[in-house]
Structure formats: C-alpha cells, structure tokens
Structure 1
Amino acid sequence: MRTEDLKRKAENLEQMIAKAEPERRLALQPQFSELLERMKSAGQTVPNRMRDLDAALIEEAIEARFDNMPV
C-alpha cells in the first residue's frame, strides 16, 4: 500500500473512532494500532494526534478489562 493510502486510511479510521460508541472504539483499536505501525515502518511520520488517540484507546481497553474483572 502506498504511503498516501496509509495516511488516508488512518485518517478515515480516526474519524470513525471519533464518532463511534465506546464498544466500537475498542473494537477498532487493534486495527488503528496496526495501521500506525505500518505507517512508521513505511517511514512516515505518525501525527501526534493519532499517537495520542492510539494511547487513549489502549488505556480504554485496559480499563475495560479491569471493569469486567470479578472482585
């Protein structure tokens, strides 16, 4: 995939995540993380906002696991 295509796909996914319900956001997180990794591997600079979003999604996923943990 060309670098322009990677960036466009990441931007589209970023918009989907912004509009998504919490469960859907968590479902999209692995795909978003992988896309950012592919961008880095292709030598592209990943925008800070995308890295911040990825970090927030990872944190949400971790919190969701603990919310479902029996006490």
Structure 2
Amino acid sequence: MTNTRTELDRLEHQIGQANPDIRHKLEPQLRRMIARLHDEGIAVPDQTKSLHEMLLCEAIEAQFDNMPV
C-alpha cells in the first residue's frame, strides 16, 4: 500500500504542477492508479475522486475547443 500511496501522491503533485491547458492528458494515468487502488482493496480518497472528475471535465472541454464552428 505504501508504494501505491506514494505513487498516487507523486501523480497528484505532478497534476497540480502541470500546465492547466494540458494537465487533462494525465487523466489516463490517474484512472489507472484508481483502478490499481481498487484492485489492491485500498479506498480511493475523495480528493483523488474529485481530481479525476475535474480532469475528465477538462478533457471533454479540450475536445470541444478543437472543433470547427
């Protein structure tokens, strides 16, 4: 658990430091980390769930930013 938790903390820090315009690209890594926590029977922190939802929203918005009008 300690290793997984350390990796999660590192990833959340990386996301927090990332450029807001491209940080949504880290969503797949966070999704895999959440799946890993589930597989190991570790409860996913609410903060991590909220961060994942935020990245999903940002990814959806980024898709629409590139659509021609």
Same fold (TM over 0.5): yes
Query: Identity of paired residues, percent?
Result: 38
CA RMSD between the two structures:
1.1
Give the length in aligned residue pairs: 69
Query: Structure 2 CA distance, aligned partners of 1:70 and 1:41?
Result: 41
* Aligned equivalent of 1:42, options 40, 43, 46: 40
- Divergent runs of 4+, >3 A: none
Structure 1 gap segments, 5+ residues each: none
TM-score by length of 1: 0.89
- Distance in 2 (CA, whole Å) between partners of 1:4 and 1:24 is 29
Q: Structure 2 matches for 1:1-71, cutoff 5 A?
A: 3-71=1-69
Q: Deviations over 1:7-33 (max 9, x none)?
A: 110111001111110244122111111
Counterparts of 1:43 and 1:19, CA distance in 2: 28
- In structure 2, stretches of 5+ residues that fail to align are none
When normalised by structure 2's length, the TM-score is 0.91
Contact preservation (8 Å) 2:4, 2:37? yes
